[in-house]
Structure 1
Amino acid sequence: MKRIRRTKVQGSAASYHCMTRVVNGERLLGDREKEVLRKMIWQVADFCGVQVLTYCVMSNHFHVLLRVPERQNVDDAELLRRYQVLYPKPTQHQTASVKVLRSQLAEDSEQADELRRKLLARMGDISEYMKAVKQRFSVWYNRNHNRYGTLWADRFKSVLVEGKGNALQTMAAYIDLNPVRAGLAEDPKDYRFCGYAEAVSGVSEAVEGLRCIWADHDSNPLRAHRLLIFGKGSAASLKGGAVIERDEALRVLEQEDGLLPKAAILRCRVRYFTDGAILGSSEFVRSYTKAWQMERQRRHPPKVNRLKGAEWGDLAVIRGLRKTVFS
């Protein structure tokens, strides 16, 4: 499988929205499968040293918003703790027990250094994180359903998100509103397979994710996030409910050349949040145009494209969408 290139953020933490689909879009994930995948999302994040800000598991795909910290040195004690999180006992894929690994790392040898290097290479990287989640879940799913072969579509999509303020908050709300868009819940707090629902129920890691998302805005992150999700009631006035239909959104935006409340448009499937490549303020996006151009060996630098259709503030993306912003 071809490795997907990622725009790197040097010298600072970076936030990414990652999304991947089940092969052929099949709806294979019931409540049991979603629960297992939910646990793996958190488990692998602990091993990789990345922070899950929020996530949502659906029947044929999942989203996760990750904060990847600056690459730091991890001492042997932390390396062993993380290893035990992912491999509490030997398996056919990882035969070394924690006791054996501790003994190997204690040796002052080239073999020990190589072992550290291999483990550290799997940490602090979104590609390695998504690879581990997808592989571990595929093994579990196929074993429990007498199934063989690929479970996930080959590639996952990722968007580099400005790590604070409007961009991060809007992306998080878009992810948490997935069950509302799918008609599975009127309120995402009632859908247990998303980060917002876990935060409402008091799960510490999920609450900390919301605190990170709203760090520069509000002392009560749950309240701030809920106000964005429901738009202080503005979305409820559209179509008599919380969800605005795609055709209605297109009519307002394209035929009437109007704007919709942000909370209402977030209830549509907006391609900016999965296909925009880089999402943030115009200044943030502009700062990565050269790196993006060099990575993809483009002759001309990309344009900074302001988001359309709602009062997005200063949000922009690096990849202009030739077709409608809705999918």
Structure 2
Amino acid sequence: MLVEDPKYYRFCGYAEALGRGAGDLARKGISTIVGESDMSEREALACYRTMLFSMGVGCKRGDPEAGRIDSDKAREVMDAGGALPLATRLMHRLRFLSDGAVFGSEGFVRAWAERWQWATGRKKPVNPNCVGEDAGGGKYAVIKRLWR
């Protein structure tokens, strides 16, 4: 088993859909897979999560442990209707606070990167990666690219 829950697998469309920004396309894809155009994004994600867990309980390739999701975990997800707790949803949306190394306005991150470059003697400049905008149009940025 790669991960105990698909939300933790970095290369999973479901994990990408839990985030914001780049996850827009993944959320649209999940809504298409679920086939309910009148569902909210949260409802579509919950429905898709139940699908992942219900299909993942069975054995794959004749190996009883290959690709198998624990039946107790699957039952827990089914009982919750596939919904994730608020804290978990926030963790996926705000992952740039830990994945991005330095988080702040584009100017703040650029200034930090310049100081770090000078202090370490790094020749190649480190450029901020924009991850969103605030209500006033200011951009938020991180140093490290976020995993997808």
Q: Normalising by the residue count of structure 1, what TM-score does the alignment of the two structures yield?
A: 0.19
Between structure 1 and structure 2, the one with the greater Rg is: 1
Higher helix share: 2
Q: Normalising by the residue count of structure 2, what TM-score does the alignment of the two structures yield?
A: 0.36
